[in-house]
Amino acid sequence: MKKFINSVDTLLDESLRGFALAHADILRFNADPRYLARTSPRPPGKVALISGGGSGHEPLHGGFVGLGMLDAACPGQVFTSPTPDQMMAAAQAVDNGGGVLFIVKNYAGDVMNFEIAAEMLDGPHESLLVHDDVSIPEHQGMGRRGVAGTTLVEKIVGAAAEAGYDLAACKALGEKVVHATASMGVALTSCTVPALGRPTFDIGEDEMELGVGIHGEKGRERAPLASAAEIVETLAQTIFDELKPGPGQQALLHVNGFGGTPLMELYLLYELARQYFSGRGVDITRSLVGNFTTSLDMAGASITLTLLDEETTRLWDAPVHTAALRWGV
């Protein structure tokens, strides 16, 4: 394993300190317990948005702390849920009188620890569960995982909170966006977790893993490596069948890299996916391409489609100033 690393034990804190120093105009890092909090002014009564999860998915979630998105993020160790005390401390630091909305990806550890934190909070609070991974049957086990669609949920709901939506309205909007969003990913390689020092699974040079999550786990099936067009058709068809968009439906198309795929290839996938959806009557009016929900150094990508209406389009376009997303400011 070749990594820029001093020690597995110190890697996360060293990285977070560097991240906070690089973006000191946007956020600050609290070391014990770990959380990242927004430093820009927040109006009294604004709903506080808090998310979090295991590290290794950068820029999710810390890269989305700032104006128009999250008020705080709680990073766990690599692929490991943050703890309730992190979430409690973050909530106490950023609650500004409007209540707290936890945005939670649907993984057992995240769900359990955010539930514990929520039970310990005294003030108004709600939780929003993201479950956009359509590679998993809806009613299997814990249900569908929260993956790259989380970025889109955090942006749209973050803009709503910034605009003065109350806690109930922010949660209702988030649920609308979650149900209008579907994602599916594919991996060409595994990823290397620093604590393991090796890939999380073996895969041949002529193979691909369809339906992967973001924690280095295997997907729903192993298949022979196909052309980019064939891969996109497989992912996009599953997404289209799930959302069933009508003719002329406006949508946001997000092509997300898992950390080890060049932008040249991600834009190729975007062009192919846009062709696919446009050819079936979907009007792609907004786009996002790049590494936003990664899996360390995994070579692979996911496609996400979010159906838009006038409200969600306006909120997507609203100003945002974070380490990873910036426009309109």
Question: What distance in Å separates the CA atoms of residue 128 and residue 315, rounded to the nearest whole number?
Answer: 18
Beta bridge partners of 221: 210
pLDDT confidence bin for 141, thresholds 50/70/90: low
Q: What is the pLDDT of residues 86-138, one digit of tens each?
A: 999 999 999 999 999 999 999 999 999 999 999 999 999 999 999 999 998 87
Residue 290 lies in a domain: yes
Among 248, 236, 138, 245, residue whose Cα is nearest residue 183 = 236
Is the pLDDT at 174 greater than 80? The verdict is yes
Determine the pLDDT at residue 137: 84
- In this prediction, residue 143 has a pLDDT band, given cuts at 50, 70 and 90, of confident
CA distance 200 to 328: 40
Q: Residue 198 phi/psi, 5° resolution? A: -155, 165
Residue found under tokens 């997300």 = 256
Q: What is the mean pLDDT of residues 20-29?
A: 98
List all residues 6 or more positions away from 315 whose beta carbon is below 8 Å from its beta carbon.
155, 156, 157, 159, 160, 163, 173
Nearest 5°: phi and psi at 313? -65, -45
Whether residues 218 and 127 share a domain: the answer is no
Residues 207, 274, single domain; the answer is: yes
CB 62 within 8 A of CB 37: no
Write b or e for each residue in 97-118: b if 16 or more Cβ atoms lie within 10 A of its Cβ, otherwise e. Answer: ebbbbbbbbbbebbbebbeebb
Tell me the CATH number at 101: 3.40.50.10440
DSSP 133: B
Question: Which tokens belong to 108?
Answer: 């057992």
pLDDT of the residue at 142: 77
Active site residue 23: no
pLDDT recorded at residue 298: 97
User: Using CA atoms, how far apart are residues 271 and 24, in angstroms rounded to an integer?
Assistant: 36
Both 83 and 149 in one domain: the answer is yes
Average pLDDT across the chain, whole number? 96
Q: What is the mean pLDDT of residues 67-74?
A: 98
With tokens 């998105």, the residue in question is 69
132: CB partners within 8 A, 6+ apart: 144, 145, 146, 147, 148, 149, 150, 178, 181, 182, 183, 304
On whether both 192 and 227 belong to a single domain, the answer is yes
Can you tell me the mean pLDDT for 127-153?
91
pLDDT above 90 for 35: yes
Q: Which of 23, 61, 131, 215 is catalytic?
A: 215
Q: Which domain holds residue 111?
A: 11-180
Q: Which amino acid is at 138?
A: E
Alpha helices in 136-201 (DSSP H): 149-162, 167-179
Residues 143 and 105 in one domain: yes
323 falls within a domain: no
Cα separation, 69 vs 160, whole angstroms:
9
Same domain (yes/no): 234, 253: yes
Q: Are residues 159 and 189 in the same domain?
A: no
Q: What is the DSSP string of 254-270?
A: EEEE-BSS-HHHHHHHH
Do 126 and 38 have their domain in common?
Answer: yes
**Global model pTM greater than 0.95:** yes
Contact 232, 277 (CB under 8 A): no
Number of domains in the chain: 2
Do residues 26 and 167 share a domain?
yes
Estimate to the nearest angstrom the gap between the alpha carbon of 67 and the chain centroid.
17
44 shares its domain with 176:
yes
Within this chain, do residues 170 and 189 fall inside the same structural domain, yes or no?
no
State percent of the chain over pLDDT 90: 93
**Edge-to-edge strands, sheet with 221-224:** 221-224, 207-210, 181-187, 300-307, 250-257, 283-290
Is the pLDDT at 329 greater than 80? The verdict is yes
Question: Does the annotation count 57 as an active-site position?
Answer: yes
Return d(Cα 185, Cα 189) in angstroms, integer.
Answer: 12
Annotated catalytic residue within 23, 57, 125, 131? 57
At residue 308 the predicted structure's pLDDT band, cuts being 50, 70 and 90, is very high
CATH number at residue 238: 3.30.1180.20
Among 154, 180, 206, the domain-final residue is 180
